[in-house]
Structure 1
Amino acid sequence: MANKPNVLLLMTDQQRWDTLGCYGNRVIETPNLDWLASQGTVFTSAYSSTPSCVPARASLITGMNPWNTGILGTGKGQGPMGVGFEHTLPGELAKSGYHTRGIGKMSFHPMRALNGFHHTVLDEFNKVDEQGIGSDFRSWFDRNKTGDYEIFDHGIGPNSWMARPTHAPEFLHPTFWTIKESIEFLNRRDPTKPFFLKVSFSRPHSPYDPPAFYFDLYANKKMPEPHVGEWASMHDVPQDAASPDAWRGGRSAEETRRARAGYYGSIHFIDHQIGRLLQFMTKHKLLRDTIVIFTSDHGDMQGDHNLWRKTYAYEGSAHIPLIVKLPAGMGTPATQRVENPVCLQDIMPTILEAAGTPIPQTVDGRSLLPLMQGECPDWRPYVHGEHSTCYSEEQEMQYLTDGKWKYIWFPRIGSEQLFDLRRDPAELNDLAGSEAHASELLMWRERLIGVLAPRSAGLTDGNRLVCQAGKPPIVSPHYAERTRRSGAML
C-alpha cells in the first residue's frame, strides 16, 4: 500500500476462545466477528502467556514475554503495570505518524498514564485515579443515568459467578459506551494521519450483566455443560464455592447455566456493537484501508473443572480468540486458518510490520503476516505461559502447549499434568501418570527446564524442576529495573 493502513485493535476482557461461531460454537450468535473471520485469518492455537488482565495486557502493548515485562501475574510480588517501557505499540505507531487513541479498559497505573497513546478514554470499573476521580465511563454514566442508581446496583460484583440482566438502560451499558466513544473518535480524529484505535471492552468479564434482550435469549437456550475431569475433584471445595466471588468450587447446575447465559449474552451484545462500528467505518470508507485485529486478554473457566475466573493454564482460561483481517490493499491472506501456536506478544510486531514501522529489539513476539501468507516454516514449536500465585499457592503454574499437547507444572505443589488436546480438547484425562505417555511427559518437562534455566530464578537446577513450596514468590528483576528507570515508586 502506498499509504500506511489504519489499525483497529478490538479487544474483549476475559473471553475464552470457544465462544465464537467461527471457532465452532453453534449456540452463541456472533455474526459480525464471524464475518470478520471469513475475510481474514483465524488463529486456532492462540494463547495468553499470563492469563489475567494486567500481565496479559502488558505483553500485548509491549510485545514482550511476561518475564521481560516483569509482570508474572497479579498476586504476591507483582506490582501494577506501571510505566517506563522503552517501546510500546501505540508509542511506536505515534512515532511513525499515527494518531493513537485507547478507549475502554487499559489497566494502566497510574490510571491516566498513556504508555504511548496520544489520549485515552477509560472504563476501569469502579477504580479511581490518584486524585480520587473515577474513569470516564463512570463520569458519563452519572451524568446520563435516568434514575437514582449506581453502576453496580444490580448487586453482582466484578469477579462474581452470578448473572442477571443489567438494571440500567441499554445505552448506559459500558459495551454501548465503548463503541459510542470509538465512533466519536473516528469523527474527530486528525484526518491527515492514519489512526490506531484500540477498542477495549470491559466485558464479557464479570459481572455477567448484558441487557435483558441478550440475557433472555440465552436463558431460554440449552447451554453447553461445563467440562469436569476426574482430576478436578481437588477443586470441588464447598467452603470456597460459598463465596459470591469464588475462584473454585461447584455451583448448582442452574447457577452455572445462568452464568453461561449472562456470559454468552454479554458476547452477543459486544458482537452487535462491533457491527455498529464496522457499519460506520464502511459507510465512511474507512474499513477498506484498515487492518482489523480481534482478540482477548485471556479466557474464563465458567465452571469448567470446578474453576471460575482466570489465571489457569487450562483451555477455558489460557486459550483465546485471535482474528486478523488485512486491508484490501494488502491482498487476500493465503491461509484462512492457522494452527501454529501464537500469543499476545505477536500482535505488536504484526501491526508494526503491516504499518511499515521498524520492530524494536525489545519485542519477543513475531509478526503473524508470514503465517497468513502460508510461509514461515521455522515458527516456534510451542508457547510458554505462566502465572504467579493469586488465589492460592496451588494455582501458581507454568505451561507449554503447541495446540496439540499441553504440559502444566505447578511449582508450589510440585505436580504435573499432561493433556492430549487432539483427542481430549476438554482436558478431561490427565496423562501425566500414564506409563504409555512417560516419554511424552519427559520431553515436555525437559522443554520447560530449557525455557526456565536461563532465568537463574531457582525454578530449575538445569536438570530438574525445583518445587517452590515454602519459598518466597518468584519476582522478575525486570519489573524493578523498569520502575527505577521511570522514577516511580514500587
Structure 2
Amino acid sequence: MNARRRNQCHHADRMPSRRQVLGLAAAGGAAWILQGCAHKDRVCADNRITRPNTMRPNILILHADQMRFDALGCNGNRHARTPNLDALAAEGTVFTRHFAANPVCTPSRATLFSGLYVPGHGIWRNGIPLPRRDDYGPAALRNWPMPGHMELTKTPVLMPDLFAAAGYDTLSLGKLHFTPFRAPREYGFGECTRLMYDGALSDWHGPYYGFRHVEMTCGHGEEPCRGGHYADWLRANHPDVYARANSTKPPEAYPLPGRKNIWASPVPADLHNSIWLADRFADYLTKRKAEAPPFFAFVGFPDPHHAFAPSFDLVEQFANAEVPEPADPEGEAWPEPEERQRLASHCLRSLTPEQRRVYIRYTYAMVHNIDRAVGRIVAALKASNCWDNTIIVFTSDHGDFLCDHALLLKAQFGSRSLLHVPFVLRAPGAGLPARTATPMSNCDVLPTLAALAGLHAPGDIHGCDIVPIVRDRRDHVALAHCYTGEAARNNCTIHDARYRLTCYPATGRIELYDQQQDPGEVCNLAGTRAVADVQEHLRRLLVERTFSLSNPTLGRLAQW
C-alpha cells in the first residue's frame, strides 16, 4: 500500500451531505439517522445509528485556550497541579502526539468543529467569521447586508449541527470564537465585544452555529469581567468584585517592569470565569429532566490565554513554585534572525530567568483553576447520574511559546510549542489504550466523536475516526497550515509518529526535527544525509495531502 493511500481515511460509511445535516439541525429532526438514508445510490442500515436517543452517549468537550501539551501532570509535567485532569486521564486515553491545525484561535477552532483543515474551511487568520447564513448572532442587531462570503460560500457542517440533527440538545458555555471579537457592532456577530460591553447581548442565548443555547464570555484577562454573560452575573451577584476588576490598575499591580500583559486579578479564584463555567454546566445538569435527550456540550475556558491574569489568591499559592526550564532559553537555535526581528514584541531576552519564570507560574496558576473547574464538572456529572454515559474530551486550540526560544505568546509557525496540545479522551468501552503516540489532529475530533456516538460524519471532511487507527496501529499523520498574508512566511507542517517537517514553499526553507530525541526542537536536521529519506518522504506526503485539501471558497461577493 502506498504512503498516500495508507495515510488517507476511508469515508465510505459517511452519508449525509452538508445540506442534509444543516437542514435537519435547523428543523430539529433526526429522521435520516434513525431510519437510515440513501447517499450516492448507496443505502446504509448500520445498527450503530438506529439506537434510540436514550441509549446514545452524551458528549462533553472541555476546551482550554492557548494551553501547551506539557501543562498537565498526566503529560509528564511534575510541576503541574492538575489532579482532576490527571484523574480524568487515568480513566481514559492520553494522546501524546495530538496537534492543532493552526497556531491561533479561530482557524484551529474552525478545524476542530468542522473536521476540515485550513485549506478546506478557509479561515486562515483570526478576524474571519465562519460562513453561516443565519444563526451567527441576534438578527435584531444586524444593521448591514449579509456579506457575500457568508451568503454564497458553502456552509460547513459543524459538530453542533451534526449532533442537533441527531436529536441532541446542544449547549455552549464560554469562548467559541466563531466570529471576530473586534468586528463593528453593526455586523451583529454573537461574539462582538462592543455588543457585549454595551449589554446588547445580555438577553440573547442563541441559536448560534448549531448550538441551541449559548452563554458567552468576552475576551481574556479581565475582559470577561467587562461584558458577556459572565460579566452580567458578576455585576449582579458580586458588584464589589466587578468594580475592582474594572478599575484602573496602579503601576505596582504589574510584577514585571514594563510588562502590561501580566498581573494578579482581584477576582478570587472561586468567582473566576473558569469556576463560573463549571457551575453553569452543573446547573444545566441539575435542571435536565430524566427523559431529556442526550447532550452535546462545549465548555470553552478563556484561560490560560494571555493576558496572564490569574486570581490573586492563586498567585500567592504559586509565588515560589518550581517550574521547568524552557527549551532554547536564549533563542540561539530558532527562529531565523529575520523572523526573530519580526517577533520583537514576543521576545524575552531582556528578562532575567527568574522574571521569565513568573510568566510560567502565572500560567500554571490559571491552569490549576481550570483543573479545579474540571473537578466540579466531574462531580456534577456523577451527581446527576450522567458520568457513566458521557464521553469527555479535554483539549486546547494551540499552545504558547511560554519562554521557549526566548519568546512568548504565539505566531504563525509550525513550532511544537504552539501546535502540540493536550488531548484526553474518556470513551468507556472504546477499547483504547491508556496512552497512545499515534499522531492525531484536531481535524480528527469530529469524525471520532461522531463514530463513538453511532453517527455518520459528513462525507467530505478531511479528518478520520482515530479509534480504529489507534486500535489497529495504523500509520497516521497530522497537518498544520500557517498563512500570514506574505508568501515568504507561509508554511505547512506534517507530523508523523516521530518527526515534524515544515516547508516554506515560497523560499524552499525546510525544518525537520526528531521530536523523540529533540523535544525542544533545537537541532534542525533538514538537509542532513542521515534523514534524507525521511525528509523526502514527508515532504512528498505533505505536498500531496495539501493539494488534495485545497478548496478556496471565501471572498465571493456576488454570483458573477
Q: 2:363 aligns with which of 263, 286, 295?
A: 263
1:4-58 superposed Cα distances (whole Å, 9 cap, x missing partner):
1111111000101111111111111111111111111111110001121001111
- Please give the secondary structure, in 1, of the residue aligned with 2:274: helix
Counterpart for residue 139 of structure 1: 232
- Please give the secondary structure, in 1, of the residue aligned with 2:306: coil
Q: 1:403 to 1:265 in 2, by over 3 A?
A: farther
In 1: Cα distance, 2:338 partner to 2:86 partner: 36
Counterpart for residue 283 of structure 2: 184
Indicate whether 1:479 and 2:554 are aligned. yes
Counterpart for residue 323 of structure 1: 424
- Please give the secondary structure, in 2, of the residue aligned with 1:196: strand
Q: Map residues 77-96 of structure 1 onto 2, 5 A cutoff.
A: 79-84=128-133, 85-96=155-166
CA contact (8 A) 1:6 1:196 kept: yes
Q: 1:232 aligns with which of 326, 331, 334?
A: 334
Residue 395 of structure 1 and its aligned partner are, at CA, apart by 5.1
CA contact (8 A) 2:115 2:462 kept: yes
Counterpart for residue 4 of structure 1: 56
81-90 or 355-364, larger mean C-alpha shift: 81-90
Computed over aligned residues only, the root mean square deviation of the Cα atoms, in angstroms, reads 2.9
Count of residue correspondences = 444
CA contact (8 A) 1:126 1:138 kept: no
1:311-344 superposed Cα distances (whole Å, 9 cap, x missing partner):
32111100011111124xxx26341111111111
1:256-306 superposed Cα distances (whole Å, 9 cap, x missing partner):
110000001111110011101111211221111111111111111102113
CA contact (8 A) 1:161 1:308 kept: no
In 2: Cα distance, 1:151 partner to 1:63 partner: 38
AA in 1 matched with 2:164: A
In 2: Cα distance, 1:170 partner to 1:26 partner: 23
CA contact (8 A) 2:314 2:365 kept: yes
CA contact (8 A) 1:406 1:418 kept: yes
Counterpart for residue 17 of structure 2: none
Q: Map residues 360-439 of structure 1 onto 2, 5 A cutoff.
A: 360-371=458-469, 374-375=471-472, 377-380=473-476, 382-389=477-484, 396-411=490-505, 413-439=507-533
In 2: Cα distance, 1:484 partner to 1:116 partner: 26
CA contact (8 A) 1:141 1:151 kept: no
In 2: Cα distance, 1:291 partner to 1:126 partner: 28
Q: 1:417 to 1:241 in 2, by over 3 A?
A: closer
Counterpart for residue 470 of structure 1: none
Q: 2:263 aligns with which of 145, 164, 173?
A: 164
Q: 1:452 to 1:195 in 2, by over 3 A?
A: closer
Q: 1:142 to 1:125 in 2, by over 3 A?
A: farther
Q: Map residues 202-241 of structure 1 onto 2, 5 A cutoff.
A: 202-228=302-328, 230-232=332-334, 234=336
In 1: Cα distance, 2:293 partner to 2:424 partner: 25
In structure 1, stretches of 5+ residues that fail to align are 128-132, 457-475, 486-490
Residue 181 of structure 1 and its aligned partner are, at CA, apart by 1.6
Counterpart for residue 21 of structure 2: none
Counterpart for residue 26 of structure 1: 78
Residue 363 of structure 1 and its aligned partner are, at CA, apart by 2.4
Residue 152 of structure 1 and its aligned partner are, at CA, apart by 7.8
Q: 1:283 to 1:188 in 2, by over 3 A?
A: closer
CA contact (8 A) 2:116 2:461 kept: yes
AA in 2 matched with 1:231: A
Q: 2:190 aligns with which of 103, 108, 111?
A: 111
360-369 or 182-191, larger mean C-alpha shift: 182-191
- Please give the secondary structure, in 2, of the residue aligned with 1:58: helix
AA in 2 matched with 1:278: V
CA contact (8 A) 2:174 2:299 kept: yes
Counterpart for residue 59 of structure 1: 111
137-146 or 228-237, larger mean C-alpha shift: 228-237
Q: 1:38 aligns with which of 81, 90, 102?
A: 90
- Please give the secondary structure, in 2, of the residue aligned with 1:446: helix
In 1: Cα distance, 2:260 partner to 2:395 partner: 23
| Matched-pair identity in % | 28
CA contact (8 A) 2:348 2:356 kept: no
Indicate whether 1:314 and 2:314 are aligned. no
Q: 1:449 aligns with which of 535, 543, 551?
A: 543
Indicate whether 1:201 and 2:301 are aligned. yes
AA in 2 matched with 1:323: V
In structure 2, stretches of 5+ residues that fail to align are 1-50, 134-154, 180-188, 192-206
Q: 1:260 to 1:251 in 2, by over 3 A?
A: farther
Counterpart for residue 346 of structure 1: 444
In 2: Cα distance, 1:152 partner to 1:478 partner: 44
Q: 1:198 to 1:477 in 2, by over 3 A?
A: same
Query: With structure 1 as the length reference, what TM-score do the two structures score?
Result: 0.83
Structure number with bigger Rg: 2
AA in 1 matched with 2:298: K
Residue 370 of structure 1 and its aligned partner are, at CA, apart by 2.1
Q: 1:64 to 1:452 in 2, by over 3 A?
A: closer
CA contact (8 A) 1:9 1:292 kept: yes
CA contact (8 A) 1:145 1:172 kept: no
1:335-381 superposed Cα distances (whole Å, 9 cap, x missing partner):
11111111112111122112222211132211223245x22x5442x
CA contact (8 A) 1:162 1:258 kept: no
CA contact (8 A) 1:241 1:250 kept: no
